[in-house]
Amino acid sequence: MGILGQLPVWASKPCIMGIDEAGRGPVLGPMVYGCLYCACSYQKTLSTLQFADSKTLKEEKREELFEELKINKSIGWAVDVIDPRDLSAKMLKKNKINLNEISHNSAIGLVRKTLELGLLLTEVYVDTVGDPEKYRVKLSEIFPAIKFVVAKKADSLYPVVTRDRALRDWVLDETAENMQRNFGSGYPGDPETKAWLDNHKHAVFGFPTLVRFSWGTCNAYSKDNVEVVWESDANDEDESNGSACKRQVKLTNIGFTGVKRKSEDIESNGKGRCKFFQARKLELLSQF
């Protein structure tokens, strides 16, 4: 998360902040959350600087404004770049974290970082994710001293909210000779993006790290992947095929309680241990 930098001279005055994101929908690349903050007294001047929703501006204008933003001493800004691998890992973990929650956590993190910097933050405008009122209540409960305004397309309604430019020069971790960068916009419906996904899939390793592999778009490209069979799964399947069809009822399910055994006893006779360790005659050593 950056760039926060040093505490500006106007930080002790009441300040206003805008938060927005770029890259929520693409199947390629990171999702970027950005915030811009300034003294409330600077808001009128800010509205004259031609900042707007990045989708309404040409690339050349966005680059020009970004350079102006970086040297403007009356404005502070920060971004949170969420790696596509992190997005997919969180969305596919056992206790899943959906995209809305990831977005909320990123926005909350930006507010918290500016407060830790020492900024006197009094108002925050946020482009909504999900229900605007529920989102506003959530933010207000975490930061009760701040007035939050959450609205759809806040970047169009309030000039303080701007979009940070998406990262164009993504550094590919993979070094294969056939790696190409002509992946289009990164959105699932883009023909160039579809072609890039089709040309860069691997039957064993899947996709390059640029790809959000948790996106449903990737499922269509995974049909020909090599099937992976884990040893423990195969052992369990063999045992289940040789056992009776009816599932045995555990005594504990009908009120009986047994004597709990110490972990040392379980280790000594091998029962209750993972089949991986049993098959390889591996034992737990407590003394060396």
User: Is 21 annotated for ligand binding?
Assistant: yes
CA atoms within 13 A on the CB side of 186: 21
Please give the mean pLDDT across all residues of the chain: 77
Kindly provide the b/e burial profile for residues 15-35, where b requires at least 16 CB atoms within 10 angstroms of the residue's own CB: bbbbbbbbbeebbbbbbbbbb
What is the tens place of the pLDDT at every residue in 241-269?
A: 555 444 545 545 544 455 555 555 545 55
Question: Token pair for residue 21?
Answer: 């994101």
The pLDDT tens digits of the residues spanning 189-230 come to 889 888 888 888 877 778 888 888 888 888 777 777 777 776
User: Does the structure show a pLDDT above 60 at 152?
Assistant: yes
Rounded Cα–Cα distance for residues 8 and 244 (Å): 73
Q: Where does 2-83 have alpha helices with state H?
A: 43-46, 59-71
pLDDT: is 36 or 202 the higher one? 36
